[in-house]
Amino acid sequence: MRILTLIGRLFTAGSLALGLGVTAMAQGSAYPNKPIRLVVPYPPGGATDVAARMLSPRLQEELGQTVVVENRPGAGGNIAMYNVVQSGADGYTLAMTLTGMLSINPVIYKKAGFAASDFVPVARVSLAPLLLVVPEKSPYKSVQDLLAAGKKAGKGGMAYGSAGAGGLSHLASESINGHANGNFTHVPYKGGAPLVQALMANEVAWGLLGTGDARSFVQSGKLKAIGQLRNGRSELWPDIPTLTEQGVPGGVDFDVWFGVVAPAKTPAPVVKLLGEKIAKITAEPAFRQRLNDLGGVAPATGNTPEAFADVLRRELAVLPKAAQEAGLQLD
């Protein structure tokens, strides 16, 4: 009798465990069952927004649910990232973010409202190098020429522009500025497009631009690219030497990437599903060609949450320290 009772208890416990497993599977298979928000921390029209709007229709097809791109600009991207952190960690609110947002902003802003640990990486969508760009009629043909001129001009004698105070272009520019004894003066602009206009108007001697912002102007000859910040030359710019090749070590050797992240406690199966879908999309020839036309390269292989996490770990080991050493601090 006791044996029968024990068997009955085991059967009941097993049935309960099986039921819970089936329920969990059912819940997992139900995702997504409502629209998904893809939050962009910048206004419409910028490179981050373009990447999101390229991805969203294909992701919508893959998931069978509406994917709405929502622009929430302000505070260097912090408003959008805070909004995503405060949303449910259920896979229905994602962020399209970029290099430096998670590694630099929490360090340089007193009240960023988030930390890198508040997010889980899903997949990257686009990669492109930063270019060191000078005006069309600039006399400088190499980075060494530019640095020599900066040293000769003395403190405040020449200005460089960035796409915004505290951003990656500012931080990377200060790394370059150090090779000119810090003589260049920083002039921040509100994005890549205003910086392009400032360069063409000769307001500043040089600036760092992402490929998406610079490509058409470099190709048309309206701006000159004299270096790229990368370990090796990008397939987008095979003829432009890296800073390292030009004897300027210590550059920020990170591609400018755009990628999707989710709140940290998003269920692992949901992150895995989203990562697989985005990796599938970024490997498609049509998507890659369209992205290439816009100045980006989609990661064709190894585009997993784990690989993305490795990229973030490398950034977190370097960029926060660099920001602190540069004395960057914003309200």
For residue 146, the 8-state DSSP code is H
Question: Pairing between strand 67-71 and 36-40?
Answer: parallel
Please report, for the domain that includes residue 222, its CATH number.
Answer: 3.40.190.10
Residue 302 corresponds to which amino acid?
G
In a domain, 201, yes or no: yes
Residues 92 and 157 in one domain: no
Residues 121 and 177 in one domain: no
In a domain, 234, yes or no: no
Of 177, 211, 229, the residue at which a domain comes to its end is 229
Of 182, 211, 229, the residue at which a domain comes to its end is 229
> Domain range holding 177?
130-229
In a domain, 172, yes or no: yes
Q: DSSP per residue over 233-277, as a string? A: --TT-TTSPBTTTTT--------EEEEEEEETTS-HHHHHHHHHH
| Torsion sign, CA atoms 266, 270, 273, 278 | negative
Res 169: pLDDT:
87
In a domain, 249, yes or no: no
* Cα(220)–Cα(216) distance, integer angstroms: 6
Give this prediction's pTM.
Answer: 0.77
In a domain, 243, yes or no: no
Residue 219 corresponds to which amino acid?
Q
- How long, in residues, is the chain? 331
User: For the chain, give me the number of helices (H) and strands (E)?
Assistant: 11, 10
Res 272: pLDDT:
97
For residue 179, the 8-state DSSP code is G
**C-alpha neighbours within 13 Å on the C-beta side of residue 211:** 26
Residues 214 and 193 in one domain: yes
Residues 224 and 148 in one domain: yes
Q: DSSP per residue over 190-219, as a string? A: SSHHHHHHHHHTTSSSEEEEEHHHHHHHHH
- Identify whether the C-beta of residue 103 lies closer than 8 Å to the C-beta of residue 316: yes
Res 322: pLDDT:
81
Residues 205 and 290 in one domain: no
Please report, for the domain that includes residue 75, its CATH number.
Answer: 3.40.190.150
* Cα(12)–Cα(25) distance, integer angstroms: 20
pLDDT tens for the chain, 331 residues long, are 433 343 344 334 333 333 333 333 334 458 999 999 999 999 898 889 999 999 999 999 999 999 999 999 999 899 999 999 999 999 999 999 999 999 999 999 989 999 999 999 999 999 888 999 999 999 999 999 999 999 999 999 999 999 888 778 888 898 899 999 999 999 999 888 899 999 999 999 999 998 888 989 999 999 999 999 887 888 889 999 999 899 987 555 567 899 999 999 999 999 999 999 999 999 999 999 999 888 888 887 789 999 999 989 988 988 898 888 878 888 7
In a domain, 152, yes or no: yes
* Cα(309)–Cα(33) distance, integer angstroms: 27
Residues 187 and 104 in one domain: no
Number of domains forming the structure of the chain: 2
In a domain, 48, yes or no: yes
Residues 271 and 208 in one domain: no
Residues 6+ apart with CB under 8 A from 264: 89, 117, 118, 119, 120
Q: Which residues pair with 123 in a beta bridge?
A: 260
